[in-house]
Chains A and B, each alone.
Chain A
Amino acid sequence: MMATQVLGLVKGAAIAAMVIGYTSTALAFEDTRVLPKGVRNLTIRNVSTNFDSITGPGGETKPLAHLLFKELTFNQMAKAEDALKGRQLRGFLLQNGINESESVGNFSADIKGRVTVTAPIAAIGITDSITLAVASPIYNASTSASVGFTPNGNASKILGLLARPETNQIANAREAARKLNDAVGQLNKKLTDNGFQALSDWHAQGMGDTTIALKYRGIDNSRMGLATTTGVVAPTGRKKDPNILNDVPFGEGVWAPFAQVAVDQKLPMQFYTNQYVKYTEALPTQRTVRAITNEERIEVPLVTVDYNMGNRFDAGASLRYAPNYGLLAGIGYTYLRKFGDVYSGNLTSANIGTLQQWTDQQAHNAEFLIGYSTVPLYQAGRAAVPFSVNVAYSKQLASRNLPISDLAQFNVDLFF
């Protein structure tokens, strides 16, 4: 009956990517520092976000469930019936001068999501200029979904036409009324009949993709520092389940090597800046997806296809203030661009077009940081324990094809 799907929530993968970075640094607040040889660092990073809207290809804001804001047409009603009954309905519509593309009502929906990631990041100084880090996040994700259906005048009209005495199709009218009154139930029934989970509240918890990175500081003098980071994201997280419409995947399901260059400039009065660029190459893989089209997203088979997730480019700049008494404060900007995904294999062009649409993503974010660190005091022998605590907030300024989600991040760094 309803050929809609919560594709918006597929963007949960992007949420995951945004929530937890590939490195141990906080978002824009990258730096070129490495751990001294033999020093270990454990960072507990907690990132959480709520989301209920998404941006479109033009950057416009839409409800996350915008794809569920669909009209139910007579044609869809006819398609939901068996072949003969569908033809009889179409004939009845013709008889009464009703275009089968006309709507009988509108679906409405609201979907809200929340993702919380707790990521322990372990790092150790291999040498005084090389640090090895491993991050393995734990996801806790929930979505709440509510779908409604409001029939319009055409629904009443068709019921009236069926039930009028000279037509005397009252049994059919009653059946149609029941189906329309239970349009959401019919939708869920159709979903379950086709192997989907019914659209309802969803929750999951589990491990995300694991990042392994090696950071090398090449320059470190009184004016600047430069470091490169290379690594790989391992697909250890749960992939998108094609049978759950409002699923939030915990991983991309692809191996993704990356490389980053970061530069720090030390400024007077204990200010310094940082700029970085990063490129992530997603390696080809195979993925099981629904062979959806824009016309039909439910009565479609599961197929295993060749999948090449779009590569990603990140860049950022920040200004930080880190006086010797331990205060941490900063503002930053980040840019994210993920290129469009590419599907191939056992798919039609319609499938490919639908699967690939809205996968080219971009975001501009402003970020703020405040925290406290005992590291300078520890280095000066004035603190017994080197650690830092900070809170960062990332505000999405603009985006394309991404959920609108501001991130709140809480970091605790321990050095030992």
Chain B
Amino acid sequence: MQANSFCRIVSTGVSLLISAATLGCGNVKRATDQPRGVLTVPEFPSDPGHPFLLTDAENTVSFNASLIFWDKTPTPEQVKAILEHTHGARVLKSKALVELNDQVIADKEAVIQSRADFDAFNGRIREASADVDRAGLRSYVGRVADNLFTSRLNELQAQGLVDQGDISRAETLWPAYCEAKLWELAANPQLGRDQLARPTPLRLCEPYYESRAYFADQELCGPSADAHGKNYFMCIWREGVLKSALFAENYRTSKCTPASSPFASRYDAVAAWLGTDGGSLRTTLTGDDDVAAAGLERAILLGDLIDRKATLFKDCRGAFTRKEPTIASLTEIPDWTQFKPETLLQIGEMGETSSAEVWRLVPLSSSDERNKKVYSQFVRLIKAFAERPSTSADLRGQVNTGVSETTGNDPRSNAVAALHSVPSYSDTIFNQVVGQALAAKPADIGVVESDVAFAGLSDFESPTVKRLKAEQAQAYDHWQAAVSKYQEAKAHYEGESKPAIDNNRLSTVDVVKDPGAAVFLNNYFLNVTKMGAELRVQLGFDLASKNLFGCVNIGDGSQCAVSTEQLGANGEKLQVNFDSTSNLITVKFPLTDPVGLGFADLPRTPGGVQFNEMRAIKDRFVQIENYGNQLPGELRIVTGNAYVLDAFGSKLYTGSITGDNFAQREQVMAATVQD
């Protein structure tokens, strides 16, 4: 082959090779871009203006929380069971608080409002009754009241509610009741005020008082001739108390204690204390020294002059001594002695600084259903009488023969009404003692049989008053419906919602204690307080003797000082970090004293609600994440992870926490529904 031919071949070959290589080039087609969906990332419920949902106004939240450390290999079923219980607890508590707020409290407020609506009619009815023939009305009511006790007994008998024996018993006890009401009025510090007319211990008892010639002295007990009124203290005491069965029949001869008493008898002692204008008794009872007044009031009713506030009367300690013979002599009726004296006048201890209250003023043997039956009817009767709008405001406390004209607007007559409300607190308590079924109810205004006795009252009512009464009856129905709804809501809350929470708590402990699920269970409290720019945190575990205290500056996350006073002898410092973005408080503390901090070795036991089977945790660190949130019902919750860490931050145990401020929140809310 010639050289030029060879070169041609080679050059041709090279060019072909290059062209072939060029043909082989070319880029791969780009793969089609694939779609990438984007999920919305959930946001934390943080509010930088209100760190950890706290405000300056509501700056403290107290959590009760539980901490578990998981076993290494809990089954998904065990995890599920625990999650169900903790989640269920939050839901139950949130619903309970919503129920408490939206049902119980709202219903209670509805009761208050409907009661106010009902009561508002009283004033309107009184106002509408301003032009009533008062003299005629008083005369009428007086006549009715005079016979009301007897007529009421007759009504009860006619209805078969009581028999003749009950009536006899009631008639036997009625004088004692009226005497007791006299004492109740006599011991009232309000008796120091001027009145337009003599207040009555109980209008229905006036026939009894008249039969015993009480209040007979017209100078002391007659109506005030002065428009400013006059004082009836001496009337009640000299014309009432000193004439009462106890003094008239017994204290005239009963000696004082001590024997060296300058008084010849207890009667003389009381008479001496009274003097001509009420003396030391009036000064003490109606004076400015409320404590002394309360002491004397209590002493009179309790019969206990040993009270140190009543030292003025120590020379005759027996003046008001409550002893069986003395009580028995309250009346000439020997049958009174069959009742236990301590049931005649029992005094509720209310403390030295508050007025003593007669809380059971009628003869009552708690086992004597017959007494309950009769006297519950008495109270109903009295209450119905007292609360009748047309008879209460201007007739309560006034004698029907009074000469002075009073109006509902006269403050002094109002004071009379306030002085001696009927029924008294004692009667109310009595109602509670005998049971709600027989208790007096405002409904009795419209339905009580004694209305028959007052049937003539309608003759005094104007059309406006009648209309208002009809409207008041409707208001009463609303009130009662509200009461019923409230009671139902409260019963549901206390009978179902609260027990469900308790049951959940107990069963949660069981599932956590299931072998293999967890190695640690304990409860802790976590108090978080916002103090200006600081979050102060206190934490303590059940079974711990030491609490932990920490403080973090919200702005820069630096630790702020915890006072030595706060730490005290058993306080430990707590490292606190706060992340406002995630609403997270992270606390960390060393287990230098596991026992003192609530991390002692503690095997699980059938009844135990804590256990700790973690090993080698001394000098390790516990770190707890508390993510805050809020559920309906303003239930604040914390959840998060917890860890036991070594010095290098390695996780030795991983745990979970759940907590809430249910107890704190319920306590605040429940206070508003206290009856």
Contact = CB atoms under 8 A, between A and B. Distances in A.
Interface of A: 42, 44-48, 50, 52, 83-84, 87-88, 90-95, 105, 108-114, 116-118, 120, 140, 142-151, 155-156, 159-160, 162-163, 165-171, 173-174, 177-178, 180-181, 183-184, 201, 203, 384-385, 387, 389, 410, 412, 414, 416
Interface string B24-37: 11111111111111
* Among A167, A183, A201, residue most surrounded by chain B Cβ atoms (within 10 Å): A167
Contacts of B1: 416
A47 B25 CA distance: 10
A200 B411 CA distance: 96
A170 B582 contact: yes
Given A92-B83, A169-B639, 11 more contacts: A46-B20, A83-B73, A91-B78, A110-B31, A116-B25, A140-B25, A147-B34, A148-B36, A177-B39, A183-B36, A414-B13
A42 B16 CA distance: 11
A75 B35 CA distance: 23
Interface in B5-28: 5-6, 8-9, 12-13, 16-17, 19-21, 23-28
Contacts of B24: 46-48, 116-118, 140
A203 B25 CA distance: 13
Contacts of A412: 13, 16-17, 19-20
Contact of B637 (A84, A156, A168): A168
B338 interface: no
A116 B24 CA distance: 6
Contacts of A170: 42-45, 582, 627, 629
Contacts of B35: 108, 148, 150
Contacts of B37: 105, 149-151, 181
A173 B629 CA distance: 14
Interface stretch (B87-95, B291-299, B419-427, B440-448): B87-95
A118 B79 contact: no
Nearest to B41: A177
Given A83-B73, A170-B42, A150 B79 contact: no
A95 B36 contact: no
B654 interface: yes
A241 B8 CA distance: 43
Interface string B632-655: 000001011000000000000010
Contacts of B74: 84, 87, 91
A94 B32 CA distance: 38
A188 B27 CA distance: 24
A144 B31 contact: yes
A52 B39 CA distance: 30
B630 interface: yes
B618 interface: no
A91 B625 CA distance: 21
A246 to B, nearest CB: 10
Given A87-B75, A91-B79, A384-B5, A163 B28 contact: no
Contacts of B21: 46, 118
Contact of A149 (B36, B584, B629): B36
B671 to A, nearest CB: 26
B368 interface: no
* Among A88, A149, A150, residue most surrounded by chain B Cβ atoms (within 10 Å): A88
- Leading 7 A-B pairs by shortest Cβ distance: A91-B79, A148-B34, A163-B42, A90-B76, A142-B28, A114-B28, A94-B80
17 contacts: A46-B21, A48-B24, A84-B72, A87-B74, A87-B76, A91-B80, A94-B77, A109-B34, A110-B33, A112-B31, A113-B28, A114-B27, A143-B28, A159-B40, A160-B42, A385-B8, A387-B12
A333 to B, nearest CB: 25
Contacts of B26: 48, 114, 116
* Among B21, B37, B73, residue most surrounded by chain A Cβ atoms (within 10 Å): B37
* Among A94, A95, A165, residue most surrounded by chain B Cβ atoms (within 10 Å): A95
Interface string B303-323: 000000000000000000000
A200 B35 CA distance: 16
A166 B20 contact: no
A155 B27 contact: no
A61 to B, nearest CB: 17
Contact of A165 (B36, B76, B80, B629): B629
A145 B31 CA distance: 5
A116 B27 CA distance: 10
B91 A108 contact: no
Contacts of B584: 171
Nearest to A78: B76
B631 interface: yes
B523 to A, nearest CB: 18
A41 B545 CA distance: 98
A54 to B, nearest CB: 15
Contact of B31 (A111, A117, A165, A173): A111
B70 interface: yes
B13 A168 contact: no
B9 A385 contact: yes
A346 B419 CA distance: 104
B38 interface: yes
Contacts of B38: 181
B84 interface: yes
Contacts of A45: 20
A151 B20 contact: no
B70 A50 contact: no
* Among B25, B80, B640, residue most surrounded by chain A Cβ atoms (within 10 Å): B80
Interface string B566-606: 00000000000000001010000000000000000000000
A112 B30 contact: yes
* Among A90, A91, A163, A174, residue most surrounded by chain B Cβ atoms (within 10 Å): A91
B623 to A, nearest CB: 14
Nearest to B25: A116
Given A142-B27, A414-B16, A416-B1, A150 B39 contact: no
Contacts of A155: 39
B31 A50 contact: no
* Among B23, B584, B654, residue most surrounded by chain A Cβ atoms (within 10 Å): B23
Contacts of A178: 41
Interface string B55-93: 000000000000000101111111110111001001100
Contacts of A146: 30-34
Nearest to B74: A87
Contact of A84 (B16, B45, B70): B70
Nearest to B33: A146
* Among A52, A105, A169, residue most surrounded by chain B Cβ atoms (within 10 Å): A169
A156 B584 CA distance: 24
B272 to A, nearest CB: 75
Contacts of A184: 36
B28 A50 contact: yes
A303 to B, nearest CB: 29
B42 A165 contact: no
A155 B38 CA distance: 11
Contacts of A173: 41-42
Contacts of B631: 165-166
Nearest to B584: A171
Contacts of A384: 5, 8
B87 A167 contact: yes
Contacts of A167: 87, 639
A162 B43 CA distance: 11
A177 B79 contact: no
B74 to A, nearest CB: 6
Nearest to A415: B9
A118 B29 CA distance: 20
Contacts of A83: 72-73
B44 A416 contact: no
A285 B519 CA distance: 53
Contacts of B639: 167-169
Contact of A177 (B20, B36, B42, B78): B42
A265 B171 CA distance: 146
Contacts of B9: 385, 414, 416
